[in-house]
Amino acid sequence: MPKTKAKNSETLEQKLWKSADKLRKNIDAAEYKHILLGLIFLKYISDAFESLHQKLIAGEGEYEGADPEDKDEYKAENVFFVPPEARWSTLQAQAKLPDIGQRVDEAMEAIEQENPKLLKGILPKVYGQQKLDSASLGGLIDLIGSAKLIGETKASSEQLELDIDQNAQKLQQADILGQVYEYFLGQFALAEGKKGGQFYTPESVVRVLVEMLEPYQGRVFDPCCGSGGMFVQSEKFIAAHRGRIDDISIYGQESNETTYKLCRMNLAIRGIDGSNIKWNPEGSFLNDAHKDLKADFVIANPPFNDSDWGGELLRKDGRWRYGVPPVGNANFAWVQHFLYHLAPTGAAGFVLSNGSLSSNTGGEGEIRQALVEADLVDCIVMLPTQLFYNTGIPACLWFLSRYKNGNKNRNRQGEVLFIDASELGYMVNRRNRAFTDEDIGKIAGTYHTWKRKPSPSPSPSPSPSQREGHRGDYKDIKGFCKSATLADIQKHNFVLTPGRYVGIPEEEDDGIPFEEKMGELTAQLAAQMQEAAQLDEEIKVQLAKVGFDLEVES
């Protein structure tokens, strides 16, 4: 995997954003988000429809005799049926008309009516409100219409063209919409000046969470699901390991209506059932939409250090088994909310700010101690800086487990694995960092080796973490990982910062014998001291020439 990009290289997402942002004019970013992402979604499903439509028209192979306008043909292929008036080609041909906004709204409504189960009430219908004038909207349609949403290209945005025939398969398989969503959500969050973490989690972080938890089967829950990245990555994980996607079901909740709709679109485009994703403005703490759910996996990235979570109204809530969280910070409210929804053999992986590892404010230290003493903390991973696009707050990953007694894996009762991944990753650009596949394999592989009983022979179908060489028994690596006992953690006053346990990395042995190395170092020191003495004498001479004598009287 390349670790750097050419200075003048721009991704498709960057080109699209630059061009689209020019058309935004004075529209607030929060409103423009509906307009732009809705059009990208419409373009994507229209392209997928047109690809299959052309095959049905050709009538070759398995499509011989098929009706191109039969909705069941598209349903069988998990492709949305797009009626003629809503197809992108139709809208782009009308892009210069003064009522184009109304026509786009009608197209969105028509698509929802044709696909009610996945899309009812989800698509934006804001194009006829004249917040974006018809000329700018037409320009935006032309821009998106010229863009290749199938893969990254080196061509300029003016040269991008859609080639349905050559890219039909990629259109179905690629996750380019997710990439565009991730990039655009980050840009919108920056433009809005709000907490970017509530919209999405960078792919590197999501992949680490999913690779470590391995949600092959069961109920996956994210009570602050943002745009749905955790669910999408879980499905990808199963597909990559030749599992059955139908073996998992997803549950989620989101308090931001815009983000909720983005999530539903994000899932719908991949054919993932989003019916158990719920929205209410009160949020998960005040209005838990899945009160009776006990999930096999909880995967989440809650808002960092949220002070506006309604804690003053929940002082006696039954979820706070390990201590009442402070009103001014929701970190440990989220932790206990996750635990409340965790099945008896469930596991949770989530992002928190680094402050959660050591803070004693508002009783947080006591809650952390109670979690450790209850033997729920499984693993802590320190993340490098600059992974998150819209916050500079240092972050870490927590993993909680209810099955540390060996009923699924090795018995790790009374132990916690600490991983310091702060030196991993590469700079994508001057501001942002990402993990390589090798980085993710190293982190996840270390965790799995620690969890599982050693296997005498490699798995016939090794996972990415196994491919990184973590097939044997677990060993502590100074500066990177340490399996600590609860007694060790008690000595550190229940502070869970990995650096306290893993220590400083050992310097690599260069193979030079100690005596030889010391001989070279002392010779260098002697030469430097001699040079310093000569310089001292020269300084004295030069100062004497101008009337200053540095000789010190005895």
pLDDT tens digits along 172-219: 344 565 566 667 766 775 566 444 445 568 888 999 999 999 998 899
pLDDT of the residue at 375: 95
Q: Which DSSP state fits 505? A: P
The larger pLDDT score, comparing residue 142 to residue 542, is at 142
Distance (Å, whole) CA 4 – CA 426: 8
Q: How confident is the model at residue 537 (pLDDT cuts 50, 70, 90)?
A: confident
pLDDT of the residue at 493: 96
Average pLDDT over residues 469-484: 84
Considering only 96-100, 221-225, 534-538, which range has the smallest mean pLDDT? 534-538
Distance (Å, whole) CA 282 – CA 126: 24
In the predicted model, is pLDDT for residue 160 greater than 60?
A: no
One-character DSSP codes across 440-491: HHHHHHHHHHHHSPPPSS--SS--HHHHTT--S----BTTTEEEEEHHHHHH
pLDDT of the residue at 548: 76
Triad 171, 176, 178: Cα angle to 5°: 125
pLDDT of the residue at 550: 65
452: number of Cβ within 10 Å? 16
Q: How confident is the model at residue 408 (pLDDT cuts 50, 70, 90)?
A: low
pLDDT of the residue at 169: 39
Please name the residues in contact with 334: beta carbons below 8 A apart, sequence gap of 6 or more: 224, 300, 302, 350, 352
Strands 377-382 and 395-401: antiparallel
The larger pLDDT score, comparing residue 47 to residue 449, is at 449
φ/ψ of residue 328, rounded to 5: -85, 0
Considering only 178-182, 266-270, 335-339, 389-393, which range has the smallest mean pLDDT? 178-182
Query: 373 in helix, strand or coil?
Result: helix
pLDDT of the residue at 389: 66
Query: 161 in helix, strand or coil?
Result: coil
pLDDT of the residue at 129: 83
pLDDT of the residue at 536: 81
Distance (Å, whole) CA 295 – CA 284: 15
Triad 398, 399, 403: Cα angle to 5°: 155
C-alpha separations of 375 from 337, 347, 367, 402, 443 in Å: 17, 13, 13, 8, 22
Nearest to 483 by CA among 446, 519, 536: 446
C-alpha separations of 222 from 88, 335, 348, 401 in Å: 34, 12, 10, 16
